[in-house]
Every structure is written in C-alpha cells, then in structure tokens.
Amino acid sequence: MNTEFRIEKDSMGELQVPADALYGAQTQRAINNFPISGLVLPPAFIKTVALIKQTAAKANIQLGVLDSTRGETIIQAAEQIIQGKHAEQFPVDIFQTGSGTSTNMNVNEVLAHLASESCPEAVGANDHVNMGQSSNDVIPTAIHVSTAIECQRQLLPALDHLAETLEAKAIACRDYTKTGRTHLMDAMPMTLEQELGAWAQQIRNGIARVSGALPRVQKLAQGGTAVGTGINAHPEFAALFADTMTEVTGIAFSPNESFFESLSCQDAIVELSGQLKTIAVSLMKIANDLRWMNSGPLAGLGEIELTALQPGSSIMPGKVNPVIPEATAMVAAQVIGNDATITIAGQSGTFQLNVMLPVIAYNILQSIEIISQVSISLADKAIADFTVREDNLQEALARNPILVTALNPIIGYAKAAKIAKSAYKQGRPIIDVAEEMTDIPRGELEKILEPKHLAAGGVN
C-alpha cells in the first residue's frame, strides 16, 4: 500500500508522519524507536491522560495563565478522547521510555492537532496542552487516577457481586452436611453453608484490603512537574487540579503531601497490586475447591454439579469441564505474575523518578480488569446455579471414620482410633462398629455421631 506522508518538526528536526495521523513528530519517533511488543496502554489509561489534560486546561484558564480561546478548544478536544474517539491515534508501545514521555507527548500532539482545527490561534502540544505539566507528574497521576477510577467503578462492584452471590448460595445450602477435608483427607463434618461462607469472607476481606489501599492511590503527583519542585506550574495549580478532578470523577483526590515521593516511587500502586495478588490467591483457592467438588461425575468427589456450558473434549463425547473455575485460576496466575512485574518495576525509582511507569500502568489496569470480569463470571456462571449431589454427600458421611472424633471425650483417643481403623478396614458405618466395640447405647451414639450436630461443633 502507498502511504502519503507529511513533514512534522520537533526539537530534533524534521520527520515524516502519515498524512492522516493526528499525532506529530515525537509520537512518530516513539513508533520508530519501540517496535517491541505491539502492546499499547489500555483505553482507560489514555482516557485518563486526556482527562488530566482537560482538567489542567480548566485549572490554567481559572488561574489566568492559559487564554480561554485555546483552553476551551483543548477541553473540547480532550472530551473526544475521553468519549473513546480516535483510539487508533495512540499506537505507542508500552515498552518505551520509562517516564512515559512518549505517551504523554502522543496525547499532547493529538489534542493540539484537534484543538487547532477549531481554534483561531495555533495550539501547541508543549506550550498549551502541556502547560504547567511534565511527563514526570502526568504519567504517575494517570496511573493513580485510572487505577482509582477502575477500582471504584469496576473492581469493587464486581467483588461485591461475587461476595453477595456466595453469601446467598451459602444460605441456600445451609441444610447440606458434607465431609470436611484437611490434607485432602476425610475430616470432621461441616455444612456447605460454612464452606461457602468462608469463601465469601475471603472476598469481603479482599474488598476491605483494596478499600484500605485506595486513599494512598488517591494522592496525586500532579503539580510536581519535573522533579517535584513544581517548576513552571502555578502555585495554586496542584490544589485546583485535584479539586476539579474530584468534582469530575466523584472520587476524593488530593495533592500528595510530597511530590518528590510521588514522582520518585510508585509505592501506593505496589501496595494495591499486593492486595490484588491476595484476591487472586483467594480466587485460586475458590476455583480449585469448585473443581475438586465438581470432579467426576463418577470417579471423582461429585459433591456438586456445575452447569454445563460447553463441550469439554474434541475427542471424548459427552465430556464437560469446569471451564469457569479453570478460567478463574488462569486469571489468578496472571494477576500474580503482574504483581511480580509491578514489584520489580516499583524498585526502579532512581533518585527523582521511577523509570518503569508504562509497564506499571499496563499491569495494574490489566489486573483490575481481569479480576473484575472473572469475578462476575464466577458468580453468575459457576456459583449461583450449581446443584448439590446430596446422595454423594450422604454416602461419604455415613462411611466417614473420622466421626469417631466425637467419642474421644467418652472413650479416649486410643479406643476411638481402633474403632475408626476397624470401620475403615471393614467398609462399615462408624456407628455400627462403635456399637459393637463400646457399651454406649445405639440411641446415644446416633445423637453423638449425627453429622449435622458435629458440624455445629457438637453443641447440644
């Protein structure tokens, strides 16, 4: 294909840029320099950078340092990006300059181009769109703002939905008693309500962990400019910017107490990523328990039956697999890997600037996105509608020799162990063997060894 070009200039000279591109020379240099992965920063991040430019323009107009003619056209141009338009104009690879300067300038150039189309005065990418800003405070701010927005609008509601679904299913399963397991071996009885309630508590704890980390994420670098001193920004810019961002998003943002801290490190995101990793570990545990409980249908545990969603084999007819728990486990693995990347990237704050910002942005937003989506799938397509195989639960309970634990206070551990081993060896119900080997009446044994009674802790 023949591509038409135009000539753009930057501080390094002239460069050919596709004629229909809204970006300029600095973006083109990044395209030429970083043909690495084909991975670009997600739409949520680009929209947030545009939101930062829009908010900065509003603040600079109010402070009297940006004329309203240019400022209003920047605001209008930014709104187009915020609404998802021109997404193809942001092609810079995530593996780029560590400050994210290429992405900052990509957005600056696109906005300057769009604004200039409707402005009687020329709008400059550096002088007007980037007024009072530096890549060094814009990109950290974009990481924090996009992360906070996606957590509030996507992650926390999805986790709450999963927790509510688990809690509702737990109540629906409160009358089912099953064999508990430790070390994958038979243990004392418990109810399905208790088991699912534990999962729900894990998710509730995860919500609390994320909520506890967000106040530090909501502290912004904007106003620190190059190294944290605020050079070239109006003294009132940072506070006005944060107030305007709060008004627009409904999230309580404020300037960081130390811009030097917010430029030189990404500790708040490292902390939040650690909480997302903890949630991933919880999801992995829940997914694997579901897989075990669903295993079978004949040669496994067969305690529950997940809804069949798709054929499970290209060669074995009738096979159905636990696809949602499997997808959940893979998401958990990805998030754990993302956290390792963010941890290493977080260590790359050298003197006054972290220089792995784009990869931090990409990984934290991906973790939020995939946890959110898989939590909804897990709730709606696995938890909400699984059926309980009560026949299998009762069969296993009747033969569970560990029920003899309830007799320990009456006959002692050694005698109880003999009964358990004998029952297991003979394949007989524990109550029958206990009746033969003790002088405890059958009626009393029935009360002592009743699984529902034991699931309640043996409380009379």
Which sequence positions are flagged as catalytic? 183, 313
Q: Rounded to 5, what percent of the chain is helix, strand, coil?
A: 60, 10, 30
The DSSP bridge pattern shows strands 13-18 and 5-10 to be antiparallel
Q: And the tokens for 418?
A: 């003999």
Q: What angle do CA 309, 336, 376 make, to 5 degrees?
A: 35
Eight-state DSSP code of residue 283: H
DSSP 60-119: HHHTTSS-HHHHHHHHHHHHHHHTTTTGGG---BSSS-TT-HHHHHHHHHHHHHHHHHH-
Tokens (6 digits) for 417: 């162990």
Number of Cβ within 10 Å of residue 236's Cβ equals: 12
Kindly provide the residue ranges of all beta strands, DSSP E only, lying in 271-425, ordered along the sequence. Answer: 304-305, 349-350, 353-354, 387-388
Q: How far apart are CA 263 and CA 91, in angstroms?
A: 25
Distance CA 101, CA 138 (A): 9
DSSP, res 6: E
Angle at 145 between CA 116 and CA 82, to 5 degrees: 35
47: left (phi over 0), alpha (psi -120 to 50) or beta: alpha
Q: Where are the beta strands (DSSP E) in 132-236?
A: 177-182, 185-191, 219-220
Q: Measuring CA to CA, which residue among 408, 362, 262 is closest to residue 41?
A: 362
Dist CA 394 CA 192 (whole Å): 13
Angle at 409 between CA 406 and CA 414, to 5 degrees: 85
Q: Are 219 and 144 in contact (CB under 8 A)?
A: yes
d(CA 178, CA 192): 7
